Amino acid sequence: MNGILFVMTGASGVGKGTIRQAAVPDLGDIHYSISATTRPRREGEVDGVDYHFLDMAAFRAMLAHDALLEYAEYVGDYYGTPAMPVDAALSAGRDVLLEIELEGARQVREKRPEAVMLFIAPPSIAELERRLRGRGTDGETKIQRRLARARKELLAVREFDYVLVNDRLDEAVKAFRSVIRAERLRARRLSDEAVAALLRAT
C-alpha cells in the first residue's frame, strides 16, 4: 500500500512549521518533504534541513530535468518540491507531508487527486501581520506582498479538504493530529491483506 500524501497550505507566518513540529512526534512515521528554494537562507536555517537552498541556475536545472513535483514563484523567489524523495517514501508505504503555498498545492491536486489537502488559516489578517512583523525576517515591502498573497490564498480555502484556524497553537496541533489520524483510518485505504486479516477466524 502506498503512503498518504498530505499537503499543508497557508500563508507564510501562519504557523505551518510550528504546528508540524509540535504534532509530528506523536504521529509515527511521516516523511516531511524538504523543498528547494532560491530564497536566501534566513538566520538559523540549515541547508538540507529547512530547505535545499539553490541558486536560480540549479533550480532551473531541476525544472529542466522534470525533477519537481510542483513549483511556484512566491514574493520574488522560487520554491519547489523534489519529486523523487516524495515518491520513494510513498511507495515504501510512508506518509508524506508537504508544506507549500497555494499555486503548488493546486498543481499537486491536479497530479495526485488522492492527496489530502489541509489549509491553515490565521485568526485574522491583522494577527498574521503582527506575526510576520514579530518574526523580523522581512522588510516592509516583502511583508505587504506576503499579506496580499495571504488574502488571495484565503479566498481559495474551499478548494481544500480541511481548514484549521491557528488561533491557539495547542488546539491547532490537536486538530492537525486528528485529521492525520482520521485519514489513516479510512476504510478504503485497507489493503486486501488487511481485509483478509479481519476475516480470519482465529
Contacts to ligand 5GP by CB under 6 A: 12, 35, 39, 70-72, 74, 79-81, 99-101, 103-104
Which CB sits closer to ligand 5GP, 31 or 189? 31
Cα radius of gyration rounded to whole Å, the chain: 18
Query: Nearest distance from residue 77's CB to ligand 5GP, in Å?
Result: 7
Q: List Cβ neighbours of 69 (8 Å cut-off, separation of 6 or more).
A: 80, 81, 82, 83, 86, 107, 108, 111
Query: Nearest distance from residue 67's CB to ligand 5GP, in Å?
Result: 12
Which CB sits closer to ligand 5GP, 89 or 100? 100
Query: Nearest distance from residue 127's CB to ligand 5GP, in Å?
Result: 16
- Cell numbers that stand for 164 in this block: 484549521
Query: Nearest distance from residue 35's CB to ligand 5GP, in Å?
Result: 3
Q: Per DSSP, which regions of 67-190 are E strands?
A: 68-74, 77-82, 95-99, 116-121, 162-165
Query: Nearest distance from residue 141's CB to ligand 5GP, in Å?
Result: 14
Which CB sits closer to ligand 5GP, 61 or 195? 61
Q: Which of 126, 98, 124 is nearest to 112 (CA)?
A: 98
Residue nearest to ligand 5GP (CB): 104
- HSE (side-chain half, CA atoms, 13 Å) at 194: 8
Which CB sits closer to ligand 5GP, 51 or 186? 51
- Residue that has been written with the C-alpha cell 500500500 in this structure: 1
The SS3 call for residue 100 is coil
Query: Nearest distance from residue 10's CB to ligand 5GP, in Å?
Result: 7
Chain CA centroid to CA 181, Å: 17
Which CB sits closer to ligand 5GP, 74 or 176? 74
d(CA 102, CA 100): 7
Which CB sits closer to ligand 5GP, 12 or 166? 12
Cβ atoms of residues 18 and 168 within 8 Å: no
